[in-house]
Each structure stands twice: as structure tokens, then as C-alpha cells.
Amino acid sequence: MPLAIGQVYHLLCRSCRPPKNKFFVVACVDPLYCFLINSQPTGWQASRPHLMRFILLLPAAEHPRFLRHDSWLDCTSVNEDYSAEALEDAFRANNACYVGDLSPEAIERAGASLQVNDVLIRKIRRCIAESWT
């Protein structure tokens, strides 16, 4: 299955401390950048309204295949734990790691947010914003 914007994978997040399974959302395919889905914003993020503009609510009702409760798409940073090849290898080894796609509504909200996102590094923002339009 080719990688595509908005696909969601449940994989080990090696950059988390301690490492744990997380939902990765494909934000850009080439190069591969992923956003992470969190159960809630951190206290540090929640206390910064500027950042909260780019941490988007993902209603569980829009994502019943993989969310059990409302969660948050963190568009303030990208995760680079996996290359495109490594993600494709993980899928070939266990296709259950692919859990679905963001809803069209979530993709629309994220795309709008990315157009004004000023916290991502410019080259990353440009790659991602072009992919989501």
C-alpha cells in the first residue's frame, strides 16, 4: 500500500521517553514526516494558547476504527522515527499497524491550520502545507 497523507499507523515511538506505542499520522510522504496523536495536550502546551492553535481535536466519533476517546493531533512538531522505507517495512511485517485514515473533516481542519502554522520549521512547513492542499 503506498503511503498517503492522513494515513494513521500504530507503531512504537522510539523518541518518546519512555518509548511507547503511538498513533503516527503521515504528514508528508517525501521526505516522510509524521504528526503524533496524543490523548491530551501536555500541561506545557495547554498553557500556551499560541501552540494550542496547532493541536487539533480529533473526535473519536470521526475515527471509530482507531480512537476510543477524543484525542489531539499535534501539528506543532513532526516525528521522524521512521523513514518511508521503514514504515513500509513495518506495514509489510504487520499490516495491522495501519489503523485507518484521518476523517475528511480532520484533514480539512489540519490543512487550514497548516496554512498559518508558524511554529514548524519553514522547510518542513512548506513540504507539509503543499501536501495537505
Q: What is the CATH number of the domain that holds 68?
A: 2.30.30
Sequential pLDDT tens for the chain (133 residues): 899 999 999 999 999 999 999 999 999 998 999 999 999 999 999 999 999 999 999 999 999 999 999 999 999 999 999 999 999 999 999 999 999 999 999 999 999 998 899 999 888 888 887 777 6
With a CB cutoff of 8 Å and minimum separation 6, the contacts of 56 are 72, 73, 75, 106, 109, 110, 113
Residue 2 lies in a domain: no
C-alpha cell of residue 8: 494513521
d(CA 78, CA 27): 8
Q: What is the pLDDT of residues 66-99, one digit of tens each?
A: 999 999 999 999 999 999 999 999 999 999 999 9
3-state helix, strand, coil in the chain (%, to 5): 35, 30, 35
* pLDDT for the residue 128: 85
Number of domains in the chain: 1
Residue 1 lies in a domain: no
